[in-house]
């Protein structure tokens, strides 16, 4: 085990800022990408559903007239 | 006799065919099935890699604990180059064979590759400060990696600026393919020029020059980055398929039907 205590761990031998800024920003960027991906997928599916509904309404109108 | 032969030749092949998956319609459910294995592998490898990186690998004799940045820096830098080559490869395939799925793959890879290039630069700066005394120098390795990041951005910006997807694909493909010359420049920059950046600690031709536990942690993080990249690219390529083919029957059936994830009878 490398660390005597939790505070030793967070201090990273005096390099805490550099190490945690590296890991923190990387984690944040990846989390951002995952959220963006899931939103993009939802938006794409919603668009297709909207188009399909509009087409159905259009077809019903034409059928009724 | 000849009739029998020709009907045999026309019969669909029962075995696996690569070209079967070359159309978005057949690739979509396959990509869906590959997603969870990718996410699980990425999560487990990240946990194992971080554990080894922080709790098993010892403090470095010369760099202290600042070297622990290596566990993201090197995998990110590797991925930024690998993803770029994959992107250029799919662009070339798309230009030669005119297959729409190839261009979709290239488009899906770009943002994840850009993220890896950014992460490599960011962690490199934070590692440079304690070891070299500066966040940034205009040396060959750092500058060529920055150019790689700009190439990703240029590819995405150009594609976004052109409305017709087919023209956007072709214009983007030119950037991607011409820019691929930068990847070997990044890789060999530490040999070709005198740079502040250290040479490769791990190469295909020589024994690694680092402790086994450090190497193990780094390789696990690299595999995790591979799994994550494949997963992210597959999600994005599925979104692109829906966006681009949204008026096609197969997309409508897929989205409005129950078998969206390709788990059930797709």
The DSSP result for B186-220, as a single string, is HHHHHHHS--SS---SS-SSS--SS-HHHHHHHHH
Domain of residue A26 covers 6-64
CATH number given to B33-57+66-246? 1.20.120
Q: With respect to residue A34, please indicate whether it lies within any of the assigned structural domains.
A: yes
The arithmetic mean of pLDDT across residues A42-54, rounded, is: 92
Q: What is the ipTM of this complex?
A: 0.90
Whole-prediction pTM = 0.88
- Whether A17 has a pLDDT exceeding 50, the answer reads yes
Q: Which of B54, B239, B247 sits opposite A41 (nearest CB)?
A: B239
Residue-averaged pLDDT of chain B:
88
Token duo for residue A13: 């031998």
Q: What is the pLDDT of residues B200-234, one digit of tens each?
A: 777 766 667 778 899 999 999 999 999 999 999 99
Contact by Cβ (8 Å): B143, B134: no
Q: What is the pLDDT of residues B228-265, one digit of tens each?
A: 999 999 999 999 999 999 888 889 888 887 455 544 44
Contact by Cβ (8 Å): B266, B259: yes
Q: With respect to residue A1, please indicate whether it lies within any of the assigned structural domains.
A: no
Q: With respect to residue A23, please indicate whether it lies within any of the assigned structural domains.
A: yes
- Whether A36 has a pLDDT exceeding 90, the answer reads yes
Interface touch A12/B65, C-beta < 8 Å: yes
Closest-CA residue of B relative to A34 is: B232
Structurally, chain A folds into a number of domains equal to 1
Which pLDDT does position B62 carry in this prediction?
A: 86
Which pLDDT does position B201 carry in this prediction?
A: 76
Q: With respect to residue A10, please indicate whether it lies within any of the assigned structural domains.
A: yes
Query: Residue-wise over A8-38: b if at least 16 C-beta within 10 A, else e?
Result: ebeebbebeebbebbbebbeebbeebeeebe
Interface touch A45/B58, C-beta < 8 Å: no
Bridge partner residues of B60 (DSSP): B64
Cα(A60)–Cα(A55) distance, integer angstroms: 9
């Amino acid at each position: 085990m490398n660390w005597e205590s939790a505070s030793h761990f967070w201090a990273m031998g005096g390099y805490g800022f550099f190490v945690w800024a590296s890991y923190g920003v990387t984690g944040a960027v990846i989390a951002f990408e995952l959220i963006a991906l899931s939103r993009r997928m939802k938006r794409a599916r919603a668009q297709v559903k909207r188009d399909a509904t509009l087409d159905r309404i259009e077809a019903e109108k034409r059928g009724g007239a | 006799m000849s009739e029998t032969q020709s009907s045999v030749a026309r019969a669909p092949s029962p075995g696996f065919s690569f070209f079967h998956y070359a159309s978005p319609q057949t690739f979509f459910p396959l990509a869906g099935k590959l997603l969870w294995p990718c996410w699980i592998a990425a999560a487990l490898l990240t946990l194992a890699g971080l554990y080894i990186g922080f709790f098993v690998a010892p403090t470095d004799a010369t760099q202290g604990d600042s070297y622990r940045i290596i566990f993201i820096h090197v995998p990110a830098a590797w991925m930024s180059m690998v993803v770029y080559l994959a992107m250029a490869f799919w662009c070339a395939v798309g230009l030669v064979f005119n297959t729409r799925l190839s261009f979709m793959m290239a488009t899906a890879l770009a943002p994840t590759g850009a993220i890896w290039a950014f992460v490599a630069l960011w962690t490199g700066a934070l590692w440079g400060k304690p070891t070299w005394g500066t966040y940034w120098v205009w040396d060959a390795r750092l500058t060529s990696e920055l150019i790689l990041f700009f190439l990703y951005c240029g590819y995405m910006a150009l594609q976004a600026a052109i409305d017709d997807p087919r023209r956007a694909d072709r214009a983007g493909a030119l950037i991607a393919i011409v820019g691929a010359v930068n990847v070997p420049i990044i890789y060999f920059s530490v040999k070709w020029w005198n740079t502040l950046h250290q040479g490769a600690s791990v190469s295909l031709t020589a024994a690694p020059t680092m402790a086994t536990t450090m190497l193990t942690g780094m390789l696990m993080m690299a595999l995790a980055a591979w799994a994550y990249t494949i997963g992210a690219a597959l999600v994005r390529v599925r979104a692109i398929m829906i966006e681009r083919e949204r008026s096609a029957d197969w997309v409508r059936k897929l989205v409005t039907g129950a078998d969206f994830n390709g788990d059930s009878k797709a």
